[in-house]
Amino acid sequence: MAVGVTSVLGRLRIARFFASQLRDVVVVAAICVIVVALSRSDFVGNQIDPVNGTYGLILVTAGLGAGASLCALVTYRLTGDPRPAWIAAALALYGVFVLPLSSITLTDPRNASGRVATLTMFVIALAIMLVGVRKTESLRARGALFGLVIGGAAGLGVAALPDTPAMLAFAQGRTTTIIALIGWTVVSLVFLIDGYRITNPRRARLGLGLLVVAASLLYREAVGTAMPTELVWPALRVVGMAVVLLALLQVVQRSVSTLQSDYDQVQARLAHAAEILESTTDLSAERDHELKNGLVALAGVVHVLSSSDGDEEGERFRQLLLNELSRLRKMLETPVAEQLDPVPPDDEIEGHLVRPVLENVVGMRVHQDIDLQTEGDLFAATESSVTEQIVTNLLVNCDRHAPGTPVVVRGRPGNDGTVVIEVRDRGPGLPVGGEDAVFERGVHDESAGGSGLGLHISRRMAEENGGSLQLQTVQDPIGCLAVLTLPSVPV
């Protein structure tokens, strides 16, 4: 099925391509008919001197050729493809050297060396343009520049030679026109066929413009004179070179669009990479923070165990120690990529009883005076590590900002199927209006120390797991109350 759809789409694309080419041919042919009709009309003949008009049209063609050469050069600079550089060199040689020199020798049939020099540069220009048709591994842009220099030097060298009878006979005949006609026809057909072969409308349009230039030479040969006695053939050459310029402008436009699209994709990838880097940096800071809290708790347990005689209390602390070591080991062994998206799907969350987790956390804080209270069998629909990490961060905050004061940890049912865990100390409370500011990354009391990560991490973890975390100052006695709300399911 997919192959059939692809085949249909391919045929539609080819059909659209040839329809656009037919439209181009019709439009260019109509323009040529209008130009011929105007050039041969009495009105234009009475208004414009044929000699001056011919010179003017030659210069216009030269300007169009130079513009087309510049477009091809810009395309090379944008894409790095050497083929446009060769086309640019050929059009520069034709527009800058061949056409101006041909206008000088047009009315002087005795200037044989000038005519031969023009033909020499013209043939070299066509050869350079043919090289730019197909891309090969050995094709380099510097070769185009070398060809341009060789063509200009060869033309100037021939122009400096003295006229000879053989050269004069060659220049006065129609050989130069026939060579130019054959050359333009061959080059235009090569570009047309290559454009049709690869269904490239811009390359085919370039070949169409060159074919109009060849048609202008064919008209001049049919008239039987190269003298500037009428405006038809130079006007047709202007049309052909204008089509060439249009085709190369479209190539530049497409190259710019492609570069813009590539740039947008790179920017999107860089933004994504920056997000990943930021997340990785945050995660590393969080891991350092949690490891530090865990090590502090372990230090307290080790201190208690060092004075224990192996009684039941000592065994309980040993079990707490093992649990904390297991949590830290899991944190270190989990790949960073998995921790960047720490919340598992709902069907993978087993949930946990709240009281055993709180007992473990409180048991690790042996140096703090903590009163644990829970109401009934509370069951939180999150990973136990989430509750453990958030409550640990809250207790570390109590120890840092209200050292030595008693702390109450209370678990109770909340509204709408939630579990609420309250952590209350008897410290100075929060700064006025600082209830939300304390959750921002890096915000902390310089005098109390800390990194400003604990509360930021805790609120984010709570929200990622469908809960919330709020801080407020309370009275009687004064202190800070942290309210952690987590989703719950019946036990």
- Please spell the DSSP secondary structure of 143-169, one letter per residue: HHHHHHHHHHHHHHHHHTSPP-HHHHH
Average pLDDT over every residue of 38-58: 83
Considering the domain boundaries, does residue 185 fall inside one?
A: yes
Same domain membership, residue 242 and residue 115: yes
Residue (of 210, 163, 175) closest to 61 by Cα position: 210
Radius of gyration of the chain, Cα coordinates, nearest whole angstrom? 42
The per-residue pLDDT for range 152-173, each reduced to its tens digit, is: 999 888 888 888 887 777 777 7
Q: Which of 260, 275, 292 is the endpoint of a domain?
A: 260
Of 284-288, 385-389, 440-444, minimum mean pLDDT range: 284-288
Extract the tokens encoding 445. Answer: 């009391």
Q: Is residue 174 part of a domain?
A: yes
Record the tokens describing residue 134, joined without a space: 């197909």
Do 256 and 381 sit in the same domain of this protein?
no
**What is each CA distance from 63 to 10, 69, 91, 392, in whole angstroms?**
39, 10, 10, 78
Could you tell me the CATH number of the domain that includes residue 476? 3.30.565.10
Q: How many domains does the chain have?
A: 2
Q: Are residues 256 and 354 in the same domain?
A: no
Residue 3, C-beta contacts closer than 8 angstroms, at least 6 positions apart: none
Print the domain residue range for 409: 347-487
Give me the pLDDT at residue 165, please. Answer: 82
The gap between the terminal CA atoms of the chain, to the nearest Å, is: 52
When pLDDT is averaged across residues 377-402 and rounded to a whole number, the result is: 87
pLDDT digits (tens, 9 = 90+) for 298-314: 555 555 555 555 566 56
User: Residue 294: inside a domain, yes or no?
Assistant: no
Q: Are residues 221 and 363 in the same domain?
A: no
Residue 465 has pLDDT above 60, yes or no: yes
Lowest mean pLDDT among 240-249, 362-371, 389-398, 481-490: 362-371
Sequence-distant (≥ 6) Cβ neighbours of residue 316 within 8 angstroms: 363
Residues 6+ positions from 348 with CB-CB distance below 8 Å:
none
147 falls within a domain: yes
Residue 414 in contact with residue 488, Cβ under 8 Å?
yes
Which range, of 15-29, 99-113, 183-197, averages the lowest pLDDT?
99-113
On whether both 65 and 202 belong to a single domain, the answer is yes
Q: What are the structure tokens assigned to 28, written together?
A: 């260019």
Q: Which of 260, 294, 326 is the last residue of a domain?
A: 260
Instruction: Say if residue 355 is in the same domain as residue 254.
Output: no
Give mean pLDDT, residues 420-433: 88
Query: Is 321 among the domain residues?
Result: no
Is 329 among the domain residues? no
Tell me, yes or no, whether 307 lies in a domain. Answer: no
Same domain membership, residue 31 and residue 137: yes
The last residue of one of the domains, among 226, 260, 294, is 260
Residues 84 and 205 in one domain: yes
Same domain, 120 and 238: yes
Separation CA 252–CA 256 (nearest Å): 6
Contact between 484 and 380 under an 8 Å Cβ cutoff? The reply is: no
pLDDT digits (tens, 9 = 90+) for 79-88: 888 999 999 9
Say if 292 falls within a structural domain.
no
* Tokens describing residue 427: 């410290």
In this structure, the answer to whether residues 46 and 175 fall within a common structural domain is yes
